[in-house]
Chains A and B, each alone.
Chain A
Amino acid sequence: MKHAIWTLALAAAVVVGCGDDKKTDDGDPITETPSATTATTLEVQAPWMRPSAKNQNTACYFLLVNGGDEADTLLAAASELAKITEVHETYMDGDLMGMREVEAIPILAGETVEFKPGGKHIMLIGTLDDIEIGATETIVLTFARAGEVVVEAPVKKPEKTDVHMQHMDH
């Protein structure tokens, strides 16, 4: 499913690109190397979202896999699910747990960045409706190179493999 979505996003990008053919001053078409090359190497894998009642908050998690040879940066997240959608991370301050907004998250070439419970997450603040277990919800991630990427996240309770209890990073 995630690959299909990514393919669709790329296809959309290509369609948008095709509709805006560049030409030389003489009117000859310019053949460009597709800029989606970098995008094709960045994948959003295994997305999922916690359930939330209307007017409460929730979080979305996934893996950002950069299989290419150029770094990219996650700049922002957006959705129509909540009043505010932000990139956040959970951190430990002594015995206390807190959260803070993160401005940008680099994904180095060949690197995988994990968004997981107790770590980085997309925070949806003030959900506009119920986010129910079994539904699939959409968020949009904006990257410096790959541009906007649509992510379809199934809503579910975390599974043991999602919790990553032994691999918390704060």
Chain B
Amino acid sequence: MQRLWIILLAAALVGCEDPLPQKEFIGDEKFELIDQNGDAVVFPNDFEGEITLVGFVFTNCPDICPMTTHSMQMLQEALAKEDIEGVRFATITFDPERDTPEVLREYIRVRGIDDENWAFLSGAAPTTEKLMDKMSIVAVSSDTTVTEEGDLIYFFTHTDRITLVDPEMNIRNEYIGSRADIRLIVEDVKKLADD
């Protein structure tokens, strides 16, 4: 009889276990951004109530950031294939001076991205910097080149990450963006959806 109680207690504890151990609230600050359509977006508040996958990129990045964007495209397709609805995507630039809504629209268009549930966000540099700090994203200007016309071209050394945010605006997991394990992230999203 005592053994039965122990088994029942263990089962109850497992049932109460948080599906994802990480929990960091980011809803205590509001970041006023602008999306690819020029509409005002408050992050993360405008995403409250929905699971959100957040990536940070700059559109002049030729290699790593397109991989992160592609990972998010694959996630969008994988979630749709599994009929998991209500997940939103947010790509935030850490180069807001160059990545205007118009540039972000071009980035979306040429990649054939379905942006129905995907916001590409820019904003004032102090705001995006503060948001990056909040989400532990680092981007340092590096590898500067000058064209024949004298145009300054610069790149960033940067964090390579996709972040999973739950409907209560908590960071629940972080993944390497360019090499994202799509299956793992889909499983994590499912855990949150079932929570």
Chain A residues packing against B (C-beta within 8 Å): 50-54, 56-59, 83-84, 86, 88, 90, 93, 95-101, 117-118, 121, 123-126, 130-133, 157-158, 163, 165, 168
Contacts and interface: CB of A to CB of B under 8 A. Distances in A.
A48 to B, nearest CB: 12
Nearest to A95: B159
Contacts, number: 108
A117 B178 contact: yes
Nearest to A121: B63
At the interface, is chain B mostly helix, strand, loop or mixed?
A: mixed
Interface stretch (B126-134, B147-155, B162-170): B147-155
B179 A51 contact: no
Interface of B: 59-64, 66-67, 70, 73, 103, 106-107, 109-112, 138, 140, 142-143, 145, 147-149, 151, 153, 155-160, 178-179, 181
A96 B107 contact: no
B63 A90 contact: yes
A117 B147 contact: no
With a 10 A CB-CB cut-off, give which of A53, A95, A100, A157 has the most chain B CB atoms: A53
Contacts of B142: 98-99
Contacts of A50: 62, 66
